[in-house]
Chain A
């Protein structure tokens, strides 16, 4: 399989994943946190699927189509490792959904990200809130949910906060 084919499969899986996540959190109060804006495509997908939810996006810089950039209040610019721990006053309440899109194809990079990212997540998530991530995270107080059909088992992971 070429990298183009595997990319198309990955993007298609990501869509299934986000649609599933949207269904899971539709009734959960709180905003959405999108880690990594990139080209803005998944941000656009989430705002289309969950039009009533506020979405805060985190990234170090802006790129891509200006139509796909959130307004100033909802675009949290800076090193996510630093901004994430201090975003609660801005997002107002714990989140219903976090989509972690800052993974890479490199295990070492993911291991390094996992180490600083996982401890920052629990205080930001509402009970019933869901974390969707491309690499596993150690999240105390969360249960692991099965991935939806059409998404490779070990490629993406769902965690739901079960207790305070």
Chain B
């Protein structure tokens, strides 16, 4: 299988996993976080599959397609490690779904990132809220859920904050 084959499989699985997560939070009140805007594709998909839900997007800079950039209130620019600690005045409430799209492709760099990220996720996520993450989340407040059928190829894994 070429990297192109693998990539198509992974993107398709990621899309299904996000749609699954959107279904899981249908009964939860609270915004969503998108950590890593990138080119804005998954953000665009999230806002389509969860219409009406507020989505805050975090990234160091904006390099997305102009049609996929959130408004100024919902685009939180800066080093995510810092902004996640100080964004409460803007985000206000606990978060129903956090999509982490910060993987670097280097396993060690990913471990280091996941290490500082996990406590911040625990701080923001509501009890019973969900995280879809391409970084491994190893934290006592989160349990990993099984990926639904058809999403096994995704790099992202599904977690739930324990009640």
Where the two chains meet, the residues of A that have a C-beta atom closer than 8 Å to any C-beta of B are 2-5, 7-8, 11-12, 14-15, 18, 39-42, 44-45, 48-49, 65, 68, 105
Query: Within 8 Å CB of A7, what residues of B?
Result: 11, 41
Evaluate contact between B4 and A45: CB separation under 8 angstroms: yes
Contacts of B44 in A (CB 8 A): 2-4
State the total of A-B contacts with C-beta under 8 angstroms: 58
A65 to B106, CA, bound (A): 9
Chain A residue at smallest Cβ distance from B40: A3
Distance to closest chain A CB from B101 (angstroms): 11
Whether B4 pairs with A8 at a CB distance below 8 angstroms is: no
In which size bucket is the chain B interface?
20 to 34
Q: Is the interface of B mostly helix, strand, loop or mixed?
A: helix
Using A4-B41, A65-B105 as known contacts, say yes or no to A45 and B3 having CB atoms under 8 A apart. yes
What are 20 A-B pairs with beta-carbon distances under 8 A? A2-B41, A2-B45, A2-B48, A3-B45, A4-B15, A5-B15, A8-B15, A14-B4, A15-B4, A15-B5, A41-B2, A41-B4, A41-B7, A42-B4, A44-B3, A44-B4, A45-B3, A48-B2, A49-B2, A105-B65
B93: interface (CB < 8 Å): no
- The 8 A CB mask of B38-66 against A (1 = contact, 0 = none) is 01111011001100000000000000010
A39 to B12 CA separation, bound complex (whole angstroms): 18
In the bound assembly, the distance between CA atoms of A45 and B11 in angstroms comes to: 16
Q: Which of B4, B5, B40, B41 has the most CB of A within 10 A?
A: B4
Is residue B8 contacting chain A, with contact meaning CB distance below 8 A? yes
Is the beta-carbon distance between B45 and A4 smaller than 8 angstroms? yes
Q: Which 6 A-B pairs have the closest CB atoms?
A: A4-B45, A45-B4, A2-B45, A45-B2, A44-B3, A3-B44
With both chains docked as a complex, state the minimum distance between the C-beta of B76 and any C-beta of chain A, in angstroms.
21
Beta-carbon contact of A44 and B15 below 8 Å:
no
- Contacts A4-B44, A5-B45, A45-B2 given; does A11 touch B8 at CB 8 Å: yes
B68 within 8 A of A: yes
Q: How far is the CA of A2 from the CA of B15 in the complex (A)?
A: 10
In the bound assembly, the distance between CA atoms of A40 and B105 in angstroms comes to 14
